[in-house]
């Protein structure tokens, strides 16, 4: 934005990622107070002058989602009232993305509601990574830059020995597009697991399509919380004599149930990003950084350059 000063701030959702982004960009992290009153209400104060600045707020809306969304909305409102020239919400993980349609009577479309709230608060644009459903971009009446974690995954696994004997699998039919893109990227065959969800936390894998026996399987999914889908798919794959099962998951929000499932050892390695805070807890979890990806995107947005062209990996 010409000679406009750029500043980056963070809420409490993932300050480590914000610090890493700033380190990559060689800019200091902006000073803001984001705390709670005794009754639980969120209090925000921007501790430096941002009048006329191009500001970025790094805040994935991960667990506890409602707290982190409110922090983000209140920070945006504070910045708007402090006369920031442009406010970009940097949301590495966009919560409520699974509530993107009416699949039952009398249910909300919460992803659209959150989009409306961000716009009403005063955000001018959104930068996000691997949305659960691409059409969520259309829920916003402001520009959305949608990045993919695929370059980070590709850089990590493209020279691994197991790729010589690997098949990329989607753990369900809904993830076929992302799995197909990764299979194309790695020039590997593609398969999928048919599944049936029996409750919010349990999944039953029921059928396989693709080359499995003696193969090193790479499952591709956008997010995991309970590891139910991954574990069910991994178990069925190993019952069908898969040599190993790894998972590439963009957003990892594992809770107690998820860690317990990974302890079973069905998944040989879970490869994820730091879009949300992830603790390996002694398990085979590899966390890749997307700080450079987001930092480069912020620099390009600031200088009004194309973001899309930056993230091409062999035509992804």
- Token pair listed for 194: 């048919």
pLDDT of residue 313: 61
Q: Which residues are catalytic?
A: 195
Domains annotated for the chain, with CATH where assigned, are 6-148+291-311 (3.40.50.2020), 151-288 (3.40.50.2020)
**195-229 confidence digits (pLDDT tens):** 666 776 776 667 888 999 999 999 999 999 999 98
Instruction: Record the pTM.
Output: 0.93
pLDDT of residue 299: 96
Strand, coil or helix: what is 107? coil
Report d(CA 291, CA 279) in Å as an integer: 17
Strand, coil or helix: what is 251? strand
- For residue 64, whether the previous peptide bond is cis, meaning omega lies within 30 degrees of 0, is yes
55 within 8 A of 1, measured Cβ to Cβ: no
pLDDT of residue 157: 95
**How far apart, in Å, are the Cα atoms of 141 and each of 96, 146, 225, 294?**
18, 14, 30, 22
pLDDT of residue 315: 43
203 within 8 A of 195, measured Cβ to Cβ: yes
Give, for all 316 residues of the chain, the pLDDT tens digit. 768 999 999 999 999 999 999 999 999 999 999 999 999 999 999 999 999 999 999 999 999 999 999 999 999 999 999 999 999 999 999 999 999 899 899 999 999 999 999 999 999 999 999 999 888 999 999 999 999 999 999 999 999 999 999 999 998 887 888 899 999 999 999 999 886 667 767 766 678 889 999 999 999 999 999 999 899 899 999 999 999 999 999 999 999 999 999 999 999 999 999 999 999 999 999 999 999 999 999 999 999 999 977 666 644 4
């Amino acid at each position: 934005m010409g000679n406009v000063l750029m500043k980056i701030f963070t809420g409490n959702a993932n300050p480590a990622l914000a610090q890493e982004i700033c380190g990559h960009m060689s800019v200091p992290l902006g000073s803001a107070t984001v705390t709670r009153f005794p009754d639980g209400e969120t209090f925000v104060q921007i501790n430096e002058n941002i009048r006329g600045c191009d500001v970025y707020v790094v805040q994935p809306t991960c667990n506890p989602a409602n707290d982190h969304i409110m922090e983000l909305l209140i920070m945006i409102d504070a910045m708007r009232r402090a006369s920031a020239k442009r406010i970009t919400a940097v949301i590495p993980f966009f919560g409520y993305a699974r509530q993107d349609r009416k699949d039952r009577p009398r249910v909300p479309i919460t992803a659209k509601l959150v989009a409306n709230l961000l716009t009403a608060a005063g955000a001018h644009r959104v930068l996000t990574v691997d949305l659960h459903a691409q059409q969520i971009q259309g829920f916003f009446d402001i520009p959305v830059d949608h990045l993919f974690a695929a370059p980070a995954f590709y850089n990590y696994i493209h020279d691994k020995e197991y790729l010589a004997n690997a098949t990329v699998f989607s753990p369900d039919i809904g993830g076929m597009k992302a799995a197909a893109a990764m299979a194309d990227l790695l020039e590997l065959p593609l398969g999928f697991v048919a599944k049936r969800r029996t409750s919010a936390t349990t999944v039953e894998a029921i059928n396989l399509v693709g080359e499995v026996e003696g193969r090193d399987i790479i499952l591709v999914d956008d997010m995991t919380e309970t590891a139910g889908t991954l574990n069910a798919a991994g178990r069925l794959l190993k019952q069908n004599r898969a040599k190993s099962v790894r998972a590439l998951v963009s957003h990892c929000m594992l809770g107690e149930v998820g860690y317990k499932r990974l302890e079973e050892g069905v998944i040989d390695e879970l490869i994820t990003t730091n879009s949300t805070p992830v603790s390996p807890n002694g398990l085979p979890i590899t966390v890749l950084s997307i700080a450079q990806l987001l930092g480069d995107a912020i620099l390009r947005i600031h200088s009004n350059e194309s973001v899309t062209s930056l993230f091409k990996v062999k035509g992804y």
